[in-house]
Amino acid sequence: MTQFKFKTDIAPSQITPESIYEKRREFMITSGVLGTALLLNPWTSARASVAISDYKPNVVNTGEALTSEKDATTYNNFYEFGTGKTDPLQNAQNLNTDDWKITVSGECDKPGEYALEDLVKPFDIEERIYRLRCVEAWSMVIPWLGVPMASILKSLQPTSKAKYVAFKTLLDPEQMPGQKRSVLQWPYEEGLRIDEAMNPLTLFAVGMYGKTMPNQNGAPVRLVVPWKYGFKSIKSIVSIEFTEEQPQTSWNISGPNEYGFYSNVNPEVNHPRWSQKKERRIGEIFKQKTRMFNGYETEVAHLYKDMNLKTYF
């Protein structure tokens, strides 16, 4: 049973809705070990996107107070649904995430079109409490649910030429009215170096706060790359491409001096129009110091050991 314990003294009941917590306890009692529970189908999928009914507890925890679920689901950036913070909540509710498909292409041995359920296996889902630091100098602490990106990428068998992974969001201006305006180049695209994508922190997230991912937060599946500015954490992913060359990214195209490919959280490199030294945790009044790599230095600093992070911002 110890594998269900959280690493800090935050009890699961404090961060998981009571009903789910109770269900999970019941599940633990009846199944005993995770393996035997494979017989139970946790995919009680009401809307055919990823419904969450059980998951492994977090292995990484900031130990900080969580941002309220209300703040995290009402104050969003998702330009496909408008540029205002409450636009995604208002405009994303009709996004159809049924039968979601992801196209896998490029330098790998398993290209093709995958149903989301074929890539994300229910018993691989973990809860991870990560800070997300937006480039706009605010941040949140969110209990995400997802699968380590490394396990998905490995299953697609990248070739030795795969140096980067490029991701794209759905392109559908009818469903995503923000795409009718050219505020960014659509579809939204992002990319990571393959070792960044394979780092154990990188999450392919399908839920938060014990529930299926809300549309405004990037349903049915998004990245969470906690040591990078929030815009690297691309939402509503429909394409994964393994590439030899560094892929282009929407924000870098829109402002090459402001948004680099790496975009690691770095208090020493200011955005050209504002300082990155401090941040405001949503829901709190006072600002706090921003930490290098958003506080995940131990886990990721080795990825950039010989790089000048002012040049590669």
Residues that bind ligand MTE (CB under 6 A): 76-80, 132, 134, 169, 188, 217, 230-231, 233-236
Please list, in sequence order, all residues whose beta carbon lies within 8 angstroms of the beta carbon of residue 204, skipping any fewer than 6 positions away: 119, 120, 146, 147, 148, 149, 152, 221, 222, 223
Q: How far is the CB of 133 from ligand MTE (least distance, A)?
A: 8
Q: How far is the CB of 161 from ligand MTE (least distance, A)?
A: 27
Q: How far is the CB of 32 from ligand MTE (least distance, A)?
A: 36
Which three-class secondary structure state does DSSP give residue 274?
strand
Task: Report the candidate in 191, 27, 64, 207 with the shortest Cα–Cα distance to residue 127.
Answer: 207
d(CA 67, CA 303): 29
d(CA 253, CA 184): 8
Q: Which is nearer to ligand MTE, 16 or 76 (CB)?
A: 76
d(CA 150, CA 106): 17
Q: Which is nearer to ligand MTE, 78 or 100 (CB)?
A: 78
Q: Which is nearer to ligand MTE, 134 or 145 (CB)?
A: 134
Distances (CA, A) of 98 to 47, 51, 94, 311: 6, 11, 11, 42
Confirm if 127 and 143 have CB atoms less than 8 A apart: yes
Q: Which is nearer to ligand MTE, 100 or 188 (CB)?
A: 188
Q: Which is nearer to ligand MTE, 30 or 254 (CB)?
A: 254
Q: How far is the CB of 79 from ligand MTE (least distance, A)?
A: 4
Q: Which is nearer to ligand MTE, 71 or 124 (CB)?
A: 71
Which three-class secondary structure state does DSSP give residue 115?
strand
- The DSSP bridge pattern shows strands 237-243 and 101-106 to be parallel
Q: How far is the CB of 72 from ligand MTE (least distance, A)?
A: 6
Q: How far is the CB of 99 from ligand MTE (least distance, A)?
A: 19
